[in-house]
Amino acid sequence: MGDKEFDFKGFKANGFLMLFFNLFLIAISVVLFFSYDSWGAIGIVFGIVGVILFLFVLGGFMQLEPNQARAMVFFGKYKGTFKETGFFWVNPFLDKKKLSLRARNLDMPPIKVNDKTGNPVMIGLVLVWKLKDTYKAMFEIDSQTMADTGTPANSVNVGQSVAGRMTAFENFVKIQSDAALRQVAGQYAYDDNESDSDGLTLRSGGAEINNRLEQELNERLAMAGIEIVEARINYLAYAPEIAAVMLRRQQASAIIAAREKIVEGAVSMVKMALHKLSEEKIVELDQDKKAAMVSNLLVVLCADEAARPVVNTGALNQ
C-alpha cells in the first residue's frame, strides 16, 4: 500500500459544525479576556488558550468540489487521498495537496518527423487526459521542478497551487506526447505508395493508428498516474521541402489510374462495336480493316481532345 493510492481513513468532521464550534470558542475567549475582575489571571490564561485553539481549528477547514481530490500528507508520510465532496475539517497538521481529476485537452502543434520510409512529414496530435492515480502524480514525478519557472514568487506558489501542479503535469504530458508521436509515426508510411505489409498507413490507418497512439501514451504516462481518455491525429501532411514533389507524384498516380480506366473502357467499347457489326451483318470487314478500325476507335476514345472526323466519300477500299 506504500506506493499506491488509497482512500483517506483519518479523522474528519463536518466543516459547518466545526465552524460554529470555532466561533463559539473565540467568543468565549473574548469574554474571558474582558472578565479580569471576575476570573482574574485564570481568565486571561484560558482566553489565551482559547485563541490558540481557535487558530489551531482554523487551519483544518477544507472543501472539495466534484472531481477534485486532496493528497493527505502528515509530516512527509502519505495518509491517503480525500475525494469526498463538501466542507470538512481534518487535522490541521495534515498537508492537504489539492489536485484536479477533471479531464483536460492538449492540442500538440504539428511537429516534423520521418515516417517508416524516411519521408519528412508534419504531424499533429490532440488528446484528452486526466489524473487517475494521485499518489503517482504527486510522488513519482517531480512536479515542483517542472512547474517552476525560476521566479521566486512562482517557486513559492507552485507547491501549494493546484494550477501550478496541473501545469506541471501538462508539461509532462506534452513531452511524453511528443516522444510517443515520433515513435508511432516512425512505424508507418505516410500513404499506400510505401505501405506496410499489413496495409496500415498514417493517412489511411484512421482508428487503428489512433488506438496505437493511445496505447503508447498510456504506457509512457502510467508512471505519472495519468490516463489518456482519447488521442487522435488532427494534422497530417508532407513537410514543405518535399510537398511539391509528392504532389506531382500523386498527380502522376492519379493520371495513370485514370488512363487505365479509359483504356479499359475503350477496349470494351471497341469489342462491343466489332461484335455488333459482325452480329447484325452491317458490313463485312477483313483483318486489315478491323485493325484499322480498332486503331481509329482507340485513338478517338483515348484522346485528351475531341476527335475531328474525316468523311470518306469514296469507296470503302480507298
Q: What does pLDDT average to in each consecutive run of 10 residues of the chain (318 residues)?
A: 80 93 88 71 81 90 93 92 94 92 92 87 93 91 61 44 85 92 89 60 84 92 92 87 67 72 79 76 71 73 66 55
Classify residue 141 by its DSSP letter.
S
Note the pLDDT of residue 229: 93
Note the pLDDT of residue 156: 41
Note the pLDDT of residue 279: 74
Note the pLDDT of residue 94: 93
Distance CA 170, CA 132 (A): 14
Note the pLDDT of residue 270: 78
DSSP secondary structure, 243-304, as one string? HHHHHHHHHHHHHHHHHHHHHHHHHHHHHHHHHHHHHTTS----HHHHHHHHHHHHHHHH-S
Note the pLDDT of residue 152: 41
Angle at alpha carbon of residue 171, lines to 66 and 98, rounded to 5°: 30
Distance CA 168, CA 270 (A): 71
Give the residues across from 105 on adjacent strands. Answer: 128
Domains of the chain: which residue ranges?
12-96, 104-238, 244-302
The neighbour count for residue 192, using CB atoms within 10 Å, is 13
Q: What are phi and psi of 207, to 5 degrees?
A: -60, -35
Ranges of beta strands (E only) in the chain are: 12-14, 61-64, 68-74, 77-82, 86-90, 94-100, 104-114, 120-131, 226-238
CATH topology of domain 104-238: Tetrahydropterin Synthase; Chain A (3.30.479)
